[in-house]
A and B are shown apart, each in its own frame.
Chain A
């Protein structure tokens, strides 16, 4: 930027195309650090900003996405046997999953750009992560128009009406999934949707469906569970990105190492799930051991990538323990005690999202009153 000329640039204030400045700015600073810095006042100088955080989460999601694509091909091959090689499987999955990514980003970013233009604000990077998460938490065969409708709903009613990135109290990616789940249940649950190319009359249920199997009074869920090694590697039917514990763990390590996700939320969520899973064993609801709860369904993915969303989780350190614990506990409660919903992770996280501000309020006001008491005695 030249200092001496008085004439404003094309996209600067007063310039001809000023009305487009937020769009231009969004692209201009997409992968670069903006050159404009605040010059007055005391500021913490740090390389970390929203953009860096969001890109980091996307990188953390890549292993799960790549494995998910391969798994789409692998599951297809199991029933059809037409994809012999590793690369064939991956390529098949990539072609299946890529349209989901395209729809998710085009619709979501379109709305974000439009609303930023209307409000005259900058476009935020928040949608980069949301848009990457959505294809990973839906069944691979979800019709694209449904994804488009759900994304539009979630971005408008979950995010923009509350003020955009950072102001939403519900995780927009999960809201997308919840919208799909309640709007088009036949495409989102049951035993026909999880595998592409499933022949008619064959059941391809996720293992979670068998959690509550009973023969008389005896719980028999464990007999229909895949082996622990299958669960850890992730060669089971499920949403695109949720199946592989190893791929999710790689992402978790990156998020924890960079300090973006809270280890307190992850740990307390695991504790909550194990506790309720153990209670389920004690009372004979299921004979699936508690540690299976951590490996099945969307628990690992939700705990690592969605419960720890810094916007919608509890902000206080003590609150994070409570918030995480109830996510894990509620997830398993839904799995064990509600036969209508095989998976409880989405509902558990959304429910605790709504309680996160209340948890923070209680924690801070308790701390404040404890301090006030201390002051009175002294």
Chain B
């Protein structure tokens, strides 16, 4: 049991990462990674939503009629997303404003629905909770890595604090405007996939 819990927790972080291996949730990972702060808040929101959605639907799994399960899942996920959104509005309004529609769009994040369908409907509540949290964390990890490079190279800051010293700019250094644009986020994710695949040979296609 212990090994199984460990597997449930660790697999989505690296070996079965939802972004780099399953290639889910790409859209939002391009949109919210311009700054590290936004990426951290987004990651936290997704971790909470995937974890709780998995947990609640795993509790309900034996009472939901199979034919209407998608509707039920949507209701639960939507409720959680609205809750997260309201909390952010109350306690972190500027970040909520910056993330704009992308908090609401967690409802459509493939990872949430994917984990419910693939895991929560066939497993016990505790394991489902862990699976949801771990998948959210795997998603968040990639978000944070991408946002780290995008904020550092694109704005010269991290979490809003200036990292690249003024003397660099005086010597002719300039922030890279392309890193701010979504295409570069996609290339950065591509690089992460590249690194992961060269470390993990079994992921390489023949």
Binds A, one of B54-62, B104-112, B177-185: B177-185
- Say what secondary structure dominates the interface of chain A: helix
- Interchain Cβ contacts under 8 Å between A and B, 21 examples: A143-B172, A145-B172, A145-B173, A146-B174, A149-B176, A157-B187, A161-B194, A179-B178, A182-B177, A182-B178, A182-B181, A183-B176, A183-B177, A183-B178, A183-B179, A184-B174, A184-B176, A184-B177, A185-B177, A186-B174, A187-B174
- Beta-carbon contacts under 8 Å, A186-223 to B: 186-187
Interface magnitude class on chain A: 10 to 19
B176: chain A residues at CB < 8 Å are 149, 183-184
**B residues apposed to A, CB below 8 Å:** 172-174, 176-179, 181, 187, 194
Whole-angstrom distance between the Cβ of B65 and the nearest chain A Cβ: 46
Bound-state CA distance A149–B173 (Å) is 12
A149: chain B residues at CB < 8 Å are 176
A157: chain B residues at CB < 8 Å are 187
Knowing that A182-B177, A183-B178, A184-B176 touch, tell me 13 more A-B residue pairs with CB under 8 angstroms. Answer: A145-B172, A145-B173, A146-B174, A157-B187, A161-B194, A179-B178, A182-B178, A183-B177, A184-B174, A184-B177, A185-B177, A186-B174, A187-B174
Bound-state CA distance A187–B176 (Å) is 11
Whole-angstrom distance between the Cβ of A143 and the nearest chain B Cβ: 6
Q: Binary interface profile of A, 158-186, with partner B (CB < 8 Å = 1, else 0)?
A: 00010000000000000000010011111
B173: chain A residues at CB < 8 Å are 145
A187: chain B residues at CB < 8 Å are 174
For B174, the closest partner residue in chain A by CB is: A184
Bound-state CA distance A146–B172 (Å) is 10
For B194, the closest partner residue in chain A by CB is: A161
B172: chain A residues at CB < 8 Å are 143, 145
For A157, the closest partner residue in chain B by CB is: B187
B178: chain A residues at CB < 8 Å are 179, 182-183
For B181, the closest partner residue in chain A by CB is: A182
Whole-angstrom distance between the Cβ of A307 and the nearest chain B Cβ: 23
Q: Which of A143, A161, A183, A187 has the most CB of B within 10 A?
A: A183
Bound-state CA distance A143–B171 (Å) is 11
Bound-state CA distance A155–B205 (Å) is 24
A146: chain B residues at CB < 8 Å are 174
